[in-house]
Amino acid sequence: MLTRFPTTVGDDPNIFRVSEGVWEAAGLLSEFEAAADDATVMAVVAPQDVRNNWFTFPELEARQAMTVAKLRASEQALGLVHCSAGVDFDGSSVTAAIAPDVMQYGLDRLAARGINPDIVIPFALVLNTGPDGFFKAELDGVSVLRGSGIAIPDEQVLRDIFIGADKAIDIETNALRSMLLSASAAPVLNMREGIFAKRERTVWTTEAQRTWVQRILIAIAALTLMITLVTLSKYWIATKAENETALAAAQKIDPSIHDINQAESALTNALNRKGIVQGSFTPLSAALWRSVKASPNVSVREMRFTPDGILSVVLAAPTADNINKTLLGIQQDGFKITATPRQDASGSTLVDITMRMP
């Protein structure tokens, strides 16, 4: 795609699309609608908006010569300029200097219509002409005169000064279009560098990838919900089983107890009648049974709860290591314990422990 670089409010350049060598007018910039198949986009700058200078540094390499050329062109400018450099068709170093605000204005105008040019180049540097004579080219109402080491607007005053009685050779439309296509493939220089370099918006995912990500996230959420429900069901079943076991034990003591709530109430009343602080037995016994269940081969031989809130327990196991694991679990829960080891007649290890609230 090709357009002229707009630099004023009233400037409304034409847009051209090129497909397989066929040129098609795409309308004015103010009416343009960008398309996804617009590959390389080139904007040419009118000669009155950009200044070109040519330099020759035979002793320097190409990259060094372009750097020096930009410094020279910037020094010769009347004010602050954005300067780019390249190698012209004759091998000399050529520069293009433009006011930064003009460059920014043109890019903003194009961006407002969805155009982000890959190449911004002076119109004169598109023309691959011979070393002798002057050549004239016209594009979208803009004319340029190009000679060896010179590029100026095609105006009568400038013609009289630089050309005189000589005539400029017109570049035909087909030849000009061929030069424009060549410049879009391999430009002499590109003014889209430095602070005006083209920056594409990073696209991390495509639409199809985003769709798959959404599906995966939904699947993960559904799987998490399913696992949560299964876990809650297991807890509910386990709690129900424990309640049924506790209820069966309570009914052996008092057959009139019909549910777990009644059993808990009866236990609380029994503890209160004995002067035991309500609530101390439950956390102590819960901590004990949690640690015993986590330790293999450990059993509870005896258990007593005194009115002063101390739980006395006799633990039994084949070895002391099994009981030590239980004691360590109780201590990690924050309860205060004392332990006295001994052995019974069968050789099993017994430990008399006392537990109290922190």
- Identify which of 179, 77, 63 has the alpha carbon closest to the alpha carbon of residue 129: 179
- Spell out the residues 6+ positions from residue 179 whose beta carbon is closer than 8 angstroms to its own: 126, 127, 128, 171
Q: Using CA atoms in the order 42, 147, 169, 8, what is the torsion angle rounded to 10 degrees?
A: 40
Start-end of H helices in the chain: 62-76, 100-111, 156-162, 173-185, 207-253, 260-273, 281-294, 320-332
d(CA 14, CA 181): 17
pLDDT, one tens digit per residue, over 211-267 is: 889 999 999 999 999 999 998 888 788 777 777 777 777 777 777 777 877 777 776
Question: Which comes out higher in pLDDT, residue 201 or 186?
Answer: 186
Backbone φ, ψ for residue 303 (5° rounding): -155, 130
d(CA 65, CA 204): 39
How many CA atoms lie less than 13 Å away from 314 in the CB half-sphere? 9
Angle subtended at Cα 11 by Cα 9 and Cα 14, rounded to the nearest 5 degrees: 145
At residue 71, the pLDDT reads: 93
Q: Are the C-beta atoms of residues 69 and 53 closer than 8 Å to each other? A: yes
What residue type is assigned to position 216 of the chain? Answer: I
Q: Is the pTM of this model over 0.85?
A: no
At residue 160, the pLDDT reads: 83
Residue identified by tokens 């050329």 is 69
Q: In which band, very low, low, confident or very high, does the pLDDT at 44 lie, cut at 50, 70 and 90?
A: very high
At residue 162, the pLDDT reads: 81
At residue 276, the pLDDT reads: 52
d(CA 235, CA 120): 70
DSSP label of 124:
G
Computed on alpha carbons and rounded to an integer, the radius of gyration of the chain in Å comes to 45
At residue 239, the pLDDT reads: 78
Question: Which comes out higher in pLDDT, residue 274 or 211?
Answer: 211
Give the three-state DSSP class for 305.
Answer: strand
Q: Which two tokens stand for residue 76?
A: 């010769």
- Identify which of 182, 168, 196, 164 has the alpha carbon closest to the alpha carbon of residue 18: 182
pLDDT of 118 > 80? The answer is: yes
At residue 101, the pLDDT reads: 95
Backbone φ, ψ for residue 177 (5° rounding): -65, -40
**What's the mean pLDDT in 307-323?**
86
Q: Which two tokens stand for residue 350?
A: 């017994």
